[in-house]
Amino acid sequence: MAFNQVARTGSAMPTIQCPRCRSEAYYNYGHTKNGKQRYICLLCNRQFIEAEPDKAVEQRPECPLCGKKMHVYMRDSKFIRFRCSAYPRCRGYVKISQEN
Ligand SMILES: [Zn+2]
Ligand SMILES: [Zn+2]
């Protein structure tokens, strides 16, 4: 019944890109043993599967102040910054370093 409790991140469909050349030109190329769709890049012929969801983003932390799930607020090559989904009512803020 609460209108404001559905938090939308507004993210569109993830774009599939070649992990090597970042091309978005690809063919479907069968499936992996695990049943995942496999693709082949038209530019560099690299075979790839759709990228796994980013684990750090999937496992969104809970706000240290109020316990709500947090949103990705900003990210760069080293850190992902999360902000409380109740912002601006709650100013909870978490920074996670990315290790790849
Ligand atoms: Zn490619
Ligand atoms: Zn909070």
- Residue 48 C-alpha to ligand 1 middle, in angstroms? 9
The answer to whether 20 and 41 have CB atoms below 8 angstroms apart is yes
Q: Which of 91, 58, 88 is nearest to 72 (CA)?
A: 58
Q: What is the pLDDT along the chain (100 residues), one digit of tens a residue?
A: 545 444 455 455 567 889 899 899 999 999 988 888 899 999 999 999 886 666 666 678 999 999 999 999 898 888 989 999 999 999 999 998 877 5
Whole-structure pTM value: 0.47
Q: Give the residue from 66, 64, 71 showing the smallest Cα distance to 85.
A: 71
Q: Which ligand is nearest to the CA of 45?
A: 1
Rounded to the nearest angstrom, the distance between the alpha carbon of 80 and the centre of ligand 2 is: 17
